[in-house]
Homo-oligomer: A and B are copies of this chain.
Amino acid sequence: MTGWLRIVGLGPGAPGARTPDAEDALNAATDLIGYAPYLERFSPRAGQIRHATDNREELARARHALTLGANGHRAALVSGGDPGVFAMASAVFEALESGPASWRALDITVIPGITAMLAAAAHLGAPLGHDFCAISLSDNLKPWALVLQRLTAAAGAGFVIAVYNPRSRARPDHLREAFTALRKILPPATPVAFAAAITRPDEHVTVTTLEAANPEQADMRTLVLIGSHETRVIARENAPPFLYTPRSTAA
């Protein structure tokens, strides 16, 4: 048997938002590797081996998946959302670069998925309709001062900002500090949305303003969208508002 590694994006959660290519890879695999809650999102085939791991051990998980593939297994390493956006794909290539030369001959494919900011944006309307950026607030892997510098640069240049990993028990105050920094640049009425568990049973979304945004609303699973000064809210009767950023801007 020739081994391979597929790095599979599960999308936001519901099977309707998962691509056929992702399903095919999950079905063809002999081994499924991933953070336990992601592995619980789909039913295993008979005979498949599940390797559930802790969320923090990304590099060890990546090496494990590469080793399985190199040893002739058909390994599917699963990520929520898209594997290339603050998820597992980058860890695999880090492991590949520093690992045995033989790993580079392995058949490795990344299968993209609907990442959280696209699912959240679709739910809200079209807040990413103009230039935007995606930034992780986690300072496990970069200095916090750099995060603030990037937020400030992006907001100042007029990008809408999608914030991943906004808050965790280990860093409860990061989102508060981020809002404080952004309030110096963006108008108080700038729309802000919190989106969690989109397409899943516990989905919840709130739309507020930068002035009123309460960082306590977010946890590690929340995607926070911060508008630009162009982002608009369309009110509706008996329905949540739509949020969108116009395609055009004068400045």
Contact = CB atoms under 8 A, between A and B. Distances in A.
Q: How many copies of the polypeptide does the oligomer hold?
A: 2
A177 B89 CA distance: 32
A118 to B, nearest CB: 4
Question: Looking at chain A, what size class is its interface with the partner chain?
Answer: 35 or more
Contacts of A135: 131, 159
Contacts of A112: 17, 114, 118-119, 121-122
A218 interface: no
A188 interface: no
Given A11-B19, A17-B112, A150-B158, 15 more contacts: A15-B20, A18-B20, A58-B247, A82-B122, A86-B129, A90-B130, A96-B242, A97-B232, A108-B242, A109-B122, A111-B122, A113-B114, A133-B134, A154-B154, A154-B157
Contacts of A118: 82, 84-85, 112-113, 115
B232 A126 contact: no
A141 interface: yes
Interface of A: 9, 11, 14-21, 24, 58, 82-86, 89-94, 96-97, 104-105, 108-115, 118-119, 121-123, 125-136, 140-143, 146, 149-150, 153-154, 156-159, 232, 234-237, 242, 244-251
A85 B128 contact: yes
Given A19-B18, A89-B244, A236-B104, A131 B126 contact: no
Given A105-B236, A146-B158, A244 B90 contact: yes
Contact of A150 (B19, B119, B126, B157): B157
Nearest to A133: B133
A96 B233 CA distance: 11
> For A92, A118, A146, A154, which residue has the most chain B Cβ atoms within 10 angstroms?
A118
A218 to B, nearest CB: 18
6 contacts: A17-B21, A83-B126, A93-B234, A143-B250, A153-B154, A154-B159
B156 A126 contact: no
B131 A94 contact: no
A96 B20 contact: no
Nearest to A147: B131
A185 to B, nearest CB: 12
B91 A247 contact: yes
